[in-house]
Structure 1
């Protein structure tokens, strides 16, 4: 199956101050979005493996602009999500967002092993979604529990699926709830 991409976008947010304190390193969050035509529109399909099998190529295509936007900093956390138009099913986004979709992002990052948080739902155009994010090294790095809220004003239309992958260059600004640090997670992975 070949997925029909209708449009893509890359959203970049940089945060320099939090709670009145300047960040030692700005927090850059990037979301790359692909709006595709839903091939299973308005009907139940038992076998969704064609979506799963088509998703790595889409992931590879989306990873390029995402990594370009993160190039000045590198990547320390990630998350993924999907919005399905009202004529589709939530399961359509879940089939597209499996591990094989995310592997091109992991390959581009070069060392991302941790489980990737995700969120999917069926929505009308313009419905916000919170994409949860966690550390690429270890899901238990508390400073990197974060997210990115997105609202796509004209998507997804009833016959579309919006796939989203988010990246960040660091944990939250002023994170101070303890637990494993990012550096400890990197060392643990190397040992």
Structure 2
């Protein structure tokens, strides 16, 4: 089986000390790890993507999970998580989606964090230096709005037209000074059953 050709690994981190003109009681750390990978399907239409997905995704999932846990200082430090992929101009959105929307990729991160919520995501197409947006949410509670975050960064020389950037993101906490409440209160106010939001 083939393996991903990785041109570079990029790490990004930011630490917010002051938000809204007020010092954060606990600084918010957000971070991401990205692999810049040759797109095996670039420049042509391929009907069956599964051979490469099943070959590439586990390698990338394990590699990026190990690296982001190292950046965080341990799996227990990560409260919010997400993923993203940006495919170059000679690829399809389906190529970006294929490499991150598979349990062969995401389960490494989910299991390492003992997480239960789904990995929020973006999959987009762009040129080098395209903004990479990684949406984050609480790893266990999808209704915890304090942890609805978006990490943004860019890689100056990626993706090239025949590449895909594969990303995992994380955060150590929610937004500093979060005060809009969780979605559960909205459900109560609207007369919905919190445990069954579709019911009135």
What is the TM-score of this pair, normalised by structure 1? 0.89
Aligned equivalents of 1:39 and 1:52: distance in 2? 10
Alignment of 1:87-98 (within 5 A): 87-98=90-101
Residue 149 (str. 1) matches residue 152 (str. 2) = yes
Greater than 4 Å deviation, 4+ residue runs: none
Q: Quick one: distance in 2 between partners of 1:123 and 1:176?
A: 35
Q: Deviations over 1:80-104 (max 9, x none)?
A: 1111111111111101002321111
**What is the correspondence of 1:31-180 to structure 2 with a 5 Å cutoff?**
31-54=32-55, 55-71=57-73, 74-98=77-101, 99-109=103-113, 111-179=114-182
Partner of 1:6: 7
Point out where structure 1 has 5 or more consecutive residues left out of the alignment.
Answer: 182-191
How many equivalent pairs are there?
180
Deviations 1:140-182 (A, max 9, x none): 111111110111111000011001110001111111111269x
8 Å CA contact 1:51, 1:95 repeated in 2: no
* Unaligned residue ranges in structure 2 (runs of 5+): 185-200
2-structure distance, mates of 1:175, 1:31: 22
State the alpha-carbon separation in 2 of the partners of residues 41 and 130 from structure 1. 22
Name the CA distance, whole Å, in 1 between partners of 2:130 and 2:61: 23
Report what 1:189 is aligned to.
none
Q: Highest Rg: 1 or 2?
A: 2
Deviation at 1:12, TM superposition (A): 1.2
Q: 1 CA distance for matches of 2:180 and 2:126? A: 34
Give the whole-Å Cα distance in 2 for the aligned partners of 1:180 and 1:86: 38
CA shift at 1:106, angstroms? 1.5
Residue aligned with 1:152, SS:
coil
> How much is the aligned-residue C-alpha RMSD, in angstroms?
1.5
